[in-house]
A and B are shown apart, each in its own frame.
Chain A
Amino acid sequence: MSTRETILKAVAMNKPELTELPDMDLSLSIQYPNLINQFVSMVESSGGKAFCQNSSEELLKDITGVKSEGKFMINLLENLPSTELENQNASELESLDTLYLRARLGVAENGAMWISEKQMSNRLLPFICQHLVIVINPEDLVNNMHEAYQQIDAVSEGFGVFIAGPSKTADIEQNLVIGAHGARSLRVYLL
């Protein structure tokens, strides 16, 4: 008997009597009177910075600023995804300073934003960049994770991720350090 069969047989023999899945009434889940305020406060408490006033001018300033410093940036808000970008590897992207991209959806309860593989074009980008800039339509905000999973298709593409804040660690004496291995900062424009 193969290992697979041995394990499955042992599981089948030892499992308890079948119980039912809960009937989940998702309407019991938290709702916020003002989605934008709640979302912005969660982005900021997770170490990010959110812009909701004059956000299109602010974003333009952001992009011009990074451009003028001559740093390596990728702007997925303008550029169409290219096979060249899709195929770039870690050593080619290692010096990426700033990435701009749009998220499909934002979650008010925790400030997380869903980015699908298509939106990031190359799976490494949102992680390897030093600074991450995410643009999100305020109409794409939902209350909680249950609503989020109702709206996204989390498994149709090869990969997808919820990102909440810049990368962080508290592994040295529980001191919060922003910028562990992923992005060192996160800016979010509601636009």
Chain B
Amino acid sequence: MRVKQHAEAAQEFILDEARTDWHDETLWFVRNKRDKAVNTIPEWEILRDWASRIKNHTLSNLDHYLTSFEEKALKNGIIIHWAADAEDHNRIIHKIITDNKIDKIVKSKSMLTEECHLNEYLQNRGIQILDTDLGEYIVQLRQETPSHIVLPAIHLKRQDVSETFHEHLHTEKGNYDPQYLAGCARQHLRERFVESELAITGVNFAIAESGSFVVCTNEGNADMGVHSAGIHIACMGIEKLIPKTEHLGVFLRLLARSATGQPITTYSSHFNRARPGQQMHVVIVDNGRSRQLGRPDFRNSLKCIRCAACFNTCPVYRRSGGHSYHSAVAGPIGSILNPNLDMQANSDLPFASTLCGSCSNVCPVKIDIHEQLWKWRQVIVANGYVNKGKKAGMQGMAWVLSNPQVYRFSGKIGRWVMRTFPFIVNNRLNVWFKQREMPRAPEKSFRDWFKENK
């Protein structure tokens, strides 16, 4: 099946205008909560600067920090696996499951496992994983994917959730109360936690000096699974490292405030060793990250701590929905990460932006997201991954804009046409006319006016 390009999928998303407005306003509400939380911390900009420099430093010495993390974790009895790509990652996890003859598996939120399509891989081999983050649980029941990395079910309304739960959990039909619905999920999932044999989690931060890692949740689902199950598998990208425990102070102050406007997540769990009798595995995944590290213009996208502040502020994301980005990580950050994974398949994403720069302004680790979007566009065009129409149009524009006489002449023609034969531009063939009135053409250009009036 052909994957719809961002613009096509977005066009379908906005057909439901009321829902589009709701999506837009809800995410903007989250962005506002972020601002309120940020404004209580006078040293916020200093924190961002430290976080950015800690991550820059870590990336500049990443091989050393990876081996240090491994060495300490091994000493702590953690089993370390290395995965070059998604296939490796999935195979390693599959092997742990089959070696231990496991069939009850719970998973808390991990965008890396989404990126690697772990659920699908295991499902094809007859193994079911249960997603336990409420939002992920909802989208899993609906056989959808998360549309937002922090708020996976933000594309759904309570009526959708109610219908889904009625179908799968036999909840009361027509009961749309979030408290009731979440309560039913809690009850159902509690049984699954208690009986779980293996728990998969992501990793928010891995500490090089101690071989420990931190997992942050609000729901407590990661801990419910991990502390119940006999085996814990934590999956992390190589970029999750930070050098020292004290650096957690910086990142935990930034993460939740940027993500949801909370001062910290409910649970920030620090895993150092397995509990007696438990197996603890960490899968360290590259999957294109070392390649991105070698791209000077794009490497600092690897500083990302997955807070999604750039999603919530983005005028394009808010009005096009996460699924339009056809990737595990949507939004502005996804649009600069995904072309590295597959440039051709994701060549539309860097164009899904107005380049307004709001993403870069809210980023807690100071990634120059909008500049990278602009740079990816150039790389994508140079590699021939834009359609001929867009390419010809851009070349035409470049010619006009670099020849002052042609520019002035075409301006004159354009103004005359718009005044004399408005129907030539006021019709459906002109994409600029869609959902807009064309402006009234002025008599003369600013240049002509200035010459007369200076």
Contact = CB atoms under 8 A, between A and B. Distances in A.
A169 interface: yes
A77 to B, nearest CB: 21
Contact of A22 (B54, B62, B252, B264): B54
B49 A179 contact: no
A110 B218 CA distance: 14
Contacts of A90: 193-196, 227-228
B59 A7 contact: no
B63 A11 contact: yes
Interface in B41-58: 41-43, 46, 49-50, 53-54, 56-57
Interface in A160-174: 160-174
A66 interface: no
A181 B62 contact: no
B82 A7 contact: yes
Contact of B84 (A3, A12, A111, A144): A3
B12 to A, nearest CB: 21
A170 to B, nearest CB: 7
Interface stretch (B2-10, B266-274, B322-330, B445-453): B266-274
Interface string A126-147: 0110000000000000001110
Contact of A11 (B156, B267, B272, B293): B293
Interface in A1-59: 2-4, 6-8, 10-22, 24, 26, 28-30, 42, 46
Contacts, number: 256
A19 B266 contact: no
A155 B60 contact: no
B228 A181 contact: no
Contact of B178 (A107, A161, A173): A173
Given A123-B227, A175-B158, A181-B224, A112 B268 contact: yes
Interface in B251-286: 252-253, 260, 262-276, 284, 286
A13 B294 contact: yes
Interface string B163-198: 000000000000000110111001001100111100
A16 B220 contact: no
B299 to A, nearest CB: 6
Given A15-B62, A161-B267, A30 B56 contact: no
A144 B41 CA distance: 10
A157 B272 contact: yes
A8 B66 contact: yes
B218 to A, nearest CB: 5
B212 A17 contact: no
A70 interface: no
Best-buried of B49, B196, B262 by chain A (most CB within 10 Å): B262
A15 B220 CA distance: 36
B423 to A, nearest CB: 45
A94 interface: yes
B448 to A, nearest CB: 50
A149 interface: yes
A105 interface: no
A92 B152 CA distance: 32
B134 A171 contact: yes
Contacts of A82: none
Contact of A173 (B26, B56, B246, B286): B26
Contacts of B260: 170
A112 B183 CA distance: 25
29 contacts: A3-B82, A6-B84, A15-B59, A15-B293, A21-B53, A24-B250, A90-B196, A90-B227, A111-B263, A112-B264, A128-B228, A154-B248, A158-B272, A159-B270, A159-B273, A161-B223, A161-B268, A164-B266, A167-B266, A169-B218, A171-B134, A171-B151, A173-B158, A173-B161, A174-B151, A175-B158, A180-B221, A181-B220, A182-B267
Interface of B: 26, 29-30, 41-43, 46, 49-50, 53-54, 56-57, 59-63, 66-67, 82-84, 88, 132-135, 138, 151-154, 156-158, 161, 178-179, 181-183, 186, 189-190, 193-196, 207, 210, 212, 218-221, 223-224, 226-228, 238, 243, 245-246, 248-250, 252-253, 260, 262-276, 284, 286, 290-291, 293-294, 296, 299
8 A-B pairs with least C-beta separation: A182-B220, A14-B294, A110-B263, A180-B219, A171-B135, A10-B290, A90-B228, A158-B273
